[in-house]
């Protein structure tokens, strides 16, 4: 099998499980957080804010992507492969071909940075871009076959992951904050939960190094406790609203 086809086959498998595979980062990051002795400032709010800022940059990119996505551009069900009724070329797709993957990268980069090891951050970043490049190759092959010249004309002027300009162009539809809340609360909460887990690992390591028993060493910084509490309340509230009401439903909009 030619190399390009082998890579696309791998990308197709990764596409099906793209919502779950990045979660394997959490155990690795927890391990690094627990063994790394060169990270004394993990509880410094300034460092937490920097890491959270990187993570929320990714969430903002995803939010602006989803807020302007019309119905029928692609399918959410990862087990059924790729689905697309129309080619989405507006909103964030007017700046980069794969804005959701760029957003995902920054969300997880913030978490990996908080693990506190430079080499770990570099290695994971490289792995992430290989991972998303393989998925993107598979997506683009599907879209090229589905939309032909229309896709090629659009894609030839749009970079894959990073925009050439930040000048905003109106996508022609309204910003749907309800669609963002409906579709993004799970991912945002998973990111904050990952930060909290790493905070516990750092606290445990520092406590054990200070001679505390395992029971007394387990804890979490006050900043992270507050953040996790607020986010937990928001998560449970949005989950209830989504499951029990139609408040967040938006006609003509769909997740990508």
Q: Among 77-81, 157-161, 239-243, which range has the highest average pLDDT?
A: 239-243
Ramachandran angles phi, psi of 168, nearest 5°: -75, 135
Q: Length of the chain, please?
A: 256
pLDDT digits (tens, 9 = 90+) for 97-121: 889 989 999 998 999 998 888 888 8
Confidence of residue 1 (pLDDT cuts 50, 70, 90): very low
CATH 1.20.120, domain 3-244, yes or no: yes
Q: Looking at the predicted structure, is the pLDDT value of residue 183 above 70?
A: yes
Percent of the chain with pLDDT over 70: 74
Task: Delimit the domains of the chain by residue range.
Answer: 3-244
**154 vs 41, which has greater pLDDT?**
154
Confidence of residue 12 (pLDDT cuts 50, 70, 90): low
Q: Looking at the predicted structure, is the pLDDT value of residue 43 above 70?
A: no
What is the mean predicted confidence (pLDDT) over 64-78?
Answer: 65
Token pair, residue 175, equals 């910003």
Rounded CA-CA distance 177/89 in Å is 20
Rounded CA-CA distance 146/218 in Å is 53
Q: Looking at the predicted structure, is the pLDDT value of residue 6 above 60?
A: no
- Could you tell me which of 143, 169, 170, 168 has the C-alpha nearest to residue 156? 143
């Amino acid at each position: 099998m030619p190399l390009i086809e082998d890579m696309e086959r791998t990308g197709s498998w990764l596409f099906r499980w793209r919502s779950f595979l990045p979660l394997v980062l959490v155990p690795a990051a927890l391990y690094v957080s627990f063994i790394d002795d060169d990270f004394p400032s993990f509880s410094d709010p300034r460092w937490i804010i920097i890491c959270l800022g990187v993570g929320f940059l990714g969430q903002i990119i995803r939010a602006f992507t989803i807020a302007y996505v019309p119905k029928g551009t692609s399918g959410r069900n990862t087990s059924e492969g790729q689905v697309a009724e129309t080619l989405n070329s507006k909103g964030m797709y007017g700046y980069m071909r794969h804005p959701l993957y760029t957003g995902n990268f920054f969300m997880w980069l913030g978490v990996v940075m908080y693990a506190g090891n430079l080499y770990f951050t570099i290695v994971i970043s490289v792995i992430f871009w290989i991972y998303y490049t393989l998925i993107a190759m598979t997506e683009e092959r599907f879209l090229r076959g589905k939309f032909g010249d229309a896709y090629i004309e659009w894609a030839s002027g749009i970079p894959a992951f990073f925009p050439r300009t930040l000048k905003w162009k109106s996508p022609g539809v309204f910003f749907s904050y309800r669609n963002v809340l409906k579709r993004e609360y799970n991912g945002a909460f998973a990111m904050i939960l990952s930060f909290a887990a790493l905070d516990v690992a750092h606290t445990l390591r520092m406590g054990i190094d200070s001679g505390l028993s395992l029971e007394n060493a387990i804890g979490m910084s006050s900043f992270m406790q507050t953040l996790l509490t607020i986010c937990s309340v928001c998560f449970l509230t949005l989950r209830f609203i989504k499951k029990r009401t139609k408040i967040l439903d938006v006609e003509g909009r769909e997740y990508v």
